[in-house]
Chains A and B, each alone.
Chain A
Amino acid sequence: MSDEQQKKKFFYLNRKAPYGTIYALESLEVVLIGAAFEQDVSLAFVDDGVFQLMDNQDAAGTGMKGFSKIYRALGDYEVRKLYVEKESLETRGLSVEDLMPITYEDEDEDYAEKPSIILVDKSELAKIIADQDVVMSF
């Protein structure tokens, strides 16, 4: 896309646990396909959606193939903003340290690895969502 003006803000809201339903995996597939269009993409994880980013997931016994490693490839696809809602983590007794480390390489700073996960509270997230062009909820 040559014209910067045409870039739209795409926002994917993830609210469900990774296994048991297909929502989390479907969301990830849509994000990866959408990433080919070079838009401004960000993801948010709220409610049980925060479980999608848990470190050391073991999908054995869920009847689904584990896919948590795919989140770590998002940086390669230039998806660099993964907002996690603070209140959702706290309600579940979790903190950012329980989530897997996800990074991207900043080409402007000699490919330094930077964290993609951004902790935000409910009101900050509401402002971010209000600023988007396209919001998709999974």
Chain B
Amino acid sequence: MTGYDVNGSVVEHDEEGYLTDIGQWTKDVADIIAKAENIDMTDEHWVVVNFLRDYYDEYQIAPAVRILVKEMTKKYGKEKGDQKALYALFPYGPAKQACKIAGLPKPTGCI
């Protein structure tokens, strides 16, 4: 088992880079995971990451991309809830990559 180096301490992740213990997530951890994914976190990235964390908190699952797009549209309007815009922020898949940065498990229903 390997981990992210966060200010000298190790935060464990699985073979795909998802945190082993969601409780270890902090904003610093998010920045470090993002760096490993070659993503520069902007406010727009944070909107998605925070949305996913809220969704997980409420429903105990990480939503599939389709659901993420639908719910983001409902909450923030068409501009943010746009699949293309989300892929521009997270090129390897908004649900997959943003969930990883949010410290959540791999999305259920993600094929």
Residues of A within 8 A of B (CB): 29, 32-33, 35-36, 66-67, 69-70, 72-73, 76-77, 111
Contacts and interface: CB of A to CB of B under 8 A. Distances in A.
B58 interface: yes
A72 B64 CA distance: 15
A32 B59 contact: no
Given A76-B70, A76-B71, A36 B64 contact: yes
A76 B60 contact: no
Nearest to B108: A32
With most chain A CB atoms within 10 A of its CB, the pick from B67, B70, B109 is B109
Interface of B: 58-61, 63-64, 66-67, 70-71, 74, 108-109, 111
- Residues of A contacting B: mostly: helix
Contact of B59 (A29, A33, A36, A70): A70
A76 B61 CA distance: 12
Contacts of B61: 32, 70, 73
B95 to A, nearest CB: 11
Contacts of B70: 76
Contacts of A77: 64, 67, 109
A67 B61 CA distance: 9
